Amino acid sequence: MSIKNNQMIFNFTLVLRGMNKITSQLEDTLFESGCDDAMVHSGNGSIYLTFDRLGTSLEKTVSSAIKDVEKKQKIEVAVVEPADYVTVAEIARRAGCSREYIRKLIKGERGNGYFPTPLAGSSSTTLIYSWLEVSSWLSKSHILKNNNVVKIAKILKHFNDQLNKRRVFLEPSPSLAKLVHNI
């Protein structure tokens, strides 16, 4: 993020659902929809847009980008990145620490203990954590010095939770709807 005329330039990525090929028609549609501040990329079977968008807040800026992307045709945003789910390697990268240091924090060999519990992978070789939980813990433990990281993680997790709910409930089965209603 950088500041320009009381606004900031926010950097984020929107991953598109159901698309795996960049076409000139897609590029033209996105440009005409107001995404002239994004680069279209493909990788790992996905199409994604990296934005450098000027705005007054991250919330408003990401929201406007999603609306612009979804203006025309049947383009749907699947995820806003950086996403909440992270591996140990990604935690180390985002926190600016070594993987070994993060591993020691997880095992309780460093830090004050009580590292967040993984969301998945405890019975496999790859642990998956919530970046919001981990960044909050790292901040409270005075390991992560930039408290904006936690705020950004919270905002992006909220967007992804909403995008995921939209996807799951587009055509819910009656049994799924009943299950969710009973929670």
Each residue's pLDDT tens digit, 19-51: 889 999 999 999 999 999 999 999 988 999 999
* Strand pairing class (2-4; 38-43): unpaired
- Look up the pTM and report it: 0.82
Residue 155: both structure tokens together: 């905002």
Q: What is the pLDDT of residues 68-109, one digit of tens each?
A: 999 977 899 999 999 999 999 999 999 999 999 999 999 999
Contact between residue 30 and residue 15 where contact means Cβ atoms under 8 Å apart: no
- Asked if 104 and 110 count as a contact pair (C-beta separation under 8 A), the reply is yes
- CB-CB contact of 102 with 91 (8 Å): yes
- Looking at CATH, the fold of the domain delimited by 2-81 is given as Alpha-Beta Plaits (3.30.70)
Going from N- to C-terminal start, the domains of the chain cover 2-81, 84-183
Query: What pLDDT does 181 receive?
Result: 55
Amino acid 40: pLDDT: 96
Bridge partners for 25 per DSSP:
none
- Helix, strand, or coil here: 30? helix
15 bridge partner residues: 48, 79
Per-residue pLDDT at 154: 95
Q: How confident is the model at residue 175 (pLDDT cuts 50, 70, 90)?
A: low
